[in-house]
Chains A and B, each alone.
Chain A
Amino acid sequence: MKNVYIDNNATTQVAPEVLDAMMPFFRDYWGNPSSMHYFGGQVKQYIEHAREQVAALLHADPSEIVFTSCGTESDNAAIRGAAEVEGATRTIVTTRVEHPAVLGPCRKLQENGCQVTELRVDESGNLKMDDFELALKQCPAFFSIMWANNETGVVFPIRDLAARVKEAGGTFHTDAVQSVGKVPVDVSLDPVDLLSLSGHKLHAPKGIGALYIRKGTKLKTFMIGGHQENGRRGGTENTPYIIGLGKACELAVRNMQEEMTRVAGLRDRIERELIARCSDVQVNGDRTHRLPNTTNISFKFIEGEAILYHLSDVGVAASSGSACTSGSLEPSHVIRAMGVPFTSAHGSIRFSLSRYNTDADIDHVLAHMPGIVKKLRALSPFA
Chain B
Amino acid sequence: MWDYTDKVLDHFRNPRNVGTIPDADGVGQVGSMACGDALKLAFKLGPDKRIRDVKFQTFGCASAIASSSALTEIVKGMTLEEAEKVTNQDIANYLGGLPEQKMHCSVMGREALEAAIANYRTGKAVNRVLEGKVVCTCFGVTQEEIERVIRDNDLSTVEQVTNYCKAGGGCGHCKPDIEHIIADVRAAMAATARPAAPVRRKLTIVERVRMIQETLDREIRPALQKDGGDVELIDVAGNKVIVSLRGMCARCQVAQFTLKDVVQAKLREFVEPDIVVEEARQ
Binding site for B on A (CB under 8 A): 301-306, 309-310, 312-313, 322-325, 327-331, 341-343, 346, 378-382
B66 to chain A, nearest CB (A): 10
A164 to chain B, nearest CB (A): 33
Tell me which residues across on chain B come within 8 A of A342, comparing CB atoms.
33-36
Contact B61 A305 (CB under 8 A): yes
Give the contacting residue for B60; candidates A324, A327, A331, A343; CB below 8 A.
A324
> With A303-B37, A313-B13 given, is the CB distance from A381 to B169 under 8 Å?
no
> With A303-B64, A329-B169, A329-B170 given, is the CB distance from A324 to B36 under 8 Å?
yes
B149 to chain A, nearest CB (A): 14
B256 to chain A, nearest CB (A): 45
Interface string of B93-112 (1 = CB under 8 A from A): 00000000100000000000
Contact A329 B57 (CB under 8 A): no
Q: Among residues 113 to 150 in chain B, which have CB atoms less than 8 Å away from a CB atom of chain A?
A: 138-139
- Specify the main secondary structure of chain B where it touches its partner: mixed
Q: A306-B61, A342-B34, A343-B34 are in contact. List 13 more A-B contacts (CB 8 A).
A: A303-B36, A305-B62, A309-B12, A309-B62, A322-B61, A324-B60, A329-B169, A342-B35, A342-B36, A378-B18, A381-B38, A381-B40, A382-B59
Contact B65 A379 (CB under 8 A): yes
Task: Identify which of A312, A323, A324, A342 gathers the most chain B CB atoms within 10 Å of its CB.
Answer: A324
Contact A382 B38 (CB under 8 A): yes
Tell me which residues across on chain B come within 8 A of A331, comparing CB atoms.
36
Give how many B residues have a beta carbon under 8 Å from the other chain's beta carbons. 30
A267 to B246, CA, bound (A): 63
Tell me which residues across on chain A come within 8 A of B160, comparing CB atoms.
none
A313 to B12, CA, bound (A): 12
The total of interchain contacts (Cβ-Cβ below 8 angstroms) comes to 76
A141 to chain B, nearest CB (A): 27
B122 to chain A, nearest CB (A): 21
Tell me which residues across on chain B come within 8 A of A378, comparing CB atoms.
18
A251 to chain B, nearest CB (A): 30
Tell me which residues across on chain A come within 8 A of B39, comparing CB atoms.
381
A329 to B18, CA, bound (A): 25
The closest CB in chain A to the CB of B33 belongs to A343
Task: Judge if B67 is at the interface, Cβ distance under 8 Å.
Answer: no
Task: Judge if B72 is at the interface, Cβ distance under 8 Å.
Answer: no
The closest CB in chain B to the CB of A343 belongs to B33
> With A330-B170, A381-B57 given, is the CB distance from A322 to B36 under 8 Å?
yes
Tell me which residues across on chain A come within 8 A of B138, comparing CB atoms.
330
Contact A301 B59 (CB under 8 A): yes
Contact A380 B59 (CB under 8 A): yes
The closest CB in chain A to the CB of B166 belongs to A329
Task: Judge if B87 is at the interface, Cβ distance under 8 Å.
Answer: no
Interface string of B154-177 (1 = CB under 8 A from A): 000000001000100110000000
B158 to chain A, nearest CB (A): 13
A selection of 12 A-B contacts at a CB cut-off of 8 Å is: A303-B64, A304-B61, A305-B62, A324-B60, A324-B61, A324-B64, A330-B169, A343-B33, A381-B29, A381-B39, A381-B58, A382-B33
A302 to B59, CA, bound (A): 6
Q: Among residues 33 to 88 in chain B, which have CB atoms less than 8 Å away from a CB atom of chain A?
A: 33-40, 57-62, 64-65
Tell me which residues across on chain A come within 8 A of B169, comparing CB atoms.
328-330
Task: Judge if B229 is at the interface, Cβ distance under 8 Å.
Answer: no
A382 to B170, CA, bound (A): 23
Interface string of B9-30 (1 = CB under 8 A from A): 1001101001000000000010
